Chains A and B, each alone.
Chain A
Amino acid sequence: MPDTTFLDSSELVINMGPQHPSTHGVLRVVLKLDGEKVLGTDCVIGYLHRGVEKIGENRTYQQFAPYVDRMDYCAAVSNGLGYCLAVEKLLNVEATPRAQVVRVILTELNRMASHLIWLGTHALDIGAITPLFYVMREREAILAIYEKYCGARLTTHAFRIGGLQYELYDGFEQEVKAACDLILPKIEEYETLLTGNRIWISRTKGVGILNADDCKAYGVTGPMLRAAGVKWDLRKAQPYSGYEQYDFEIPTGANGDTYDRYLVRMEEMRQAARIVRQAVDKIPVGPIMAKIPKVIKPPVGEVYVSIEAPKGELGYLIVSDGSPQPYRVRVRPPSFVNLQSLDRMARGALIADVVAIIGTIDIVLGEVDR
């Protein structure tokens, strides 16, 4: 909390949010201002708290799977993958090869969808309204694949513990390739709209600088860390679901400012499309579900599994006491951890830059509050 102000000082404490449209949901930021200059910020969170971790203690392992989709609802498939991998590690089973490849395709499509939403809302916050309409149009191609594959568009519940519930539909490969072919040229269009645009550059370049040391100190992961120049990606560092088979680059930035983070995320979308194209060509035949008992009773123990979600490192710590329900589920959400760096980045900036900085962190409040 910023210190209380006195009447004779020129400092002013105001609330930004929770209804402010640029805080991407119900985030309340208490700003301490000197005119337009930000002296300090304080995030008040919890307006979207649903107690997901506590719900997990009262559900069986299979029953909890749909709830994790509702944390980061822009990247529901990634959440499901992390949870399923954690329970599979607890059970000491592995998804079948076919299931693993399909999982990679769907999560990488989800990375594209999540970054598209980020691009649209972030540009909208800064004042560029046009990209929002275009990204929604392209995201529709990805959501249509989800709808055809598993029957839901946003909170998909696509993966089950041990593999997949649904077999691929006819024409899945062609539609995935068509979606990649559709989105890649459109990314160039967004770049035409934004990358060289003088307003965009002056609003983002040099705004919200967070260097590599600060990122490590705050535990910031994902595109924010990579924009600061650290080549760290869990898909390369500790591959899961067969990511070691795919050929892709880790894009990095140099300055760690908002503009670099924008470029890193744009490049990540292209790399995601690259992974999807490689994966689609080698979907093996075989079963989609590993041998999993109907009632999942993992042995006593605890596991921590983390994956590279679109927003950063998404980890699940699951403690099992041998019963069909987890003893404790703890989620390490990337948005929550990345949000810590807001104060560091916003201090000394102008109030209009706070909007740009919140947008560049790419938070989803469902995940921050859980």
Chain B
Amino acid sequence: MKKFLRTVFLVDLIQGLWVTFHYQRPKYRCTEQYPAERPRVAERYRGAPRLNINPENGETLCISCNLCALACPENLIVVTSERNEQTRRKDLTTFIYDTSRCMFCGLCEDACPVDALELTQDFELATYSREGQIWDRQMLEEGPKPTEYKY
């Protein structure tokens, strides 16, 4: 009898509708209005790569050891260097990082012994061409410059 009454008065459906109805309150709103409201990504976020420079003199921290290129599963980092006879060290000539093939696993930044290569919190990596995804040394040092929309 009780079951019959519950069926007739649609108790199961009304209970469910109550759950949806009480989420109508504006304080339960949880959608992020993305371009207007930018997300705060975590500190350890693995986003766009960056090649760090010494902030005092603008020289690169990279010592051209090639460990990142060896650690990369996709072989997308190419480091070239030439030997400096005066300092007896290797000077970085080019550093190419193909972000179109990158899966942001973070193995390159783990491999870097001097913290020169880092995956940063920048996550807007869209470009108009495939060539634009291949980042050279200058791009890696400056970082991406996404358009910020004003509302």
Contacts and interface: CB of A to CB of B under 8 A. Distances in A.
A192 interface: yes
A344 to B, nearest CB: 31
Interface in B1-48: 7, 12-13, 15-16, 19-20, 23, 30, 41-46
Nearest to A193: B16
Contacts of A65: 105
Contacts of B15: 192, 196
Nearest to B30: A137
Nearest to A64: B73
A197 B13 contact: yes
B124 interface: no
Q: Most chain-B CB neighbours within 10 Å: which of A65, A66, A134? A: A66
A66 B45 contact: no
B126 interface: no
B91 to A, nearest CB: 26
A157 B105 contact: yes
A173 to B, nearest CB: 17
Contacts of A137: 30
B107 A130 contact: no
Contact of B44 (A64, A144, A169): A169
Contact of A151 (B19, B71, B103, B119): B119
Contacts of B71: 62-63
Contacts of B144: none
Given A63-B71, A137-B30, A189-B19, A197 B12 contact: yes
B44 A151 contact: yes
Nearest to B15: A192
Contacts of B45: 147, 151-152
Interface of A: 59, 62-67, 70, 130, 134, 137, 140, 144, 147-152, 155, 157, 165-166, 169, 189, 192-194, 196-198
A165 B71 CA distance: 15
Contacts of B106: 150-152, 157, 165
Contacts, number: 66
B46 A152 contact: yes
Contacts of A59: 73
Interface residues of B, number: 25
Given A147-B45, A166-B44, A155 B73 contact: no
Contacts of B142: none
Nearest to B103: A66
B148 to A, nearest CB: 22
A151 B20 contact: no
A153 to B, nearest CB: 9
A137 B32 CA distance: 11
Given A63-B73, A193-B16, A198 B7 contact: yes
Contact of B107 (A66, A147, A150, A151): A66
A70 B105 CA distance: 11
A157 B104 CA distance: 9
Contacts of B136: none
Given A151-B119, A192-B16, A198-B13, A67 B44 contact: no
Interface in B64-83: 71-73
B110 interface: yes
Contacts of A70: 103
Q: Most chain-B CB neighbours within 10 Å: which of A63, A65, A148, A151? A: A151
A67 B20 CA distance: 39
Given A66-B103, A134-B23, A148-B43, 4 more contacts: A130-B19, A140-B30, A151-B45, A197-B12
A151 B73 contact: no
A265 B86 CA distance: 67
Q: Most chain-A CB neighbours within 10 Å: which of B7, B16, B45, B119? A: B16
A64 B103 CA distance: 12
Contacts of A192: 15-16, 19
A151 B46 contact: yes
A152 B13 contact: no
A169 B73 CA distance: 27
A140 B42 CA distance: 13
Contacts of B119: 151
A17 to B, nearest CB: 27
Nearest to B6: A196
B86 to A, nearest CB: 32
Given A63-B73, A148-B42, A150-B44, A197 B16 contact: yes
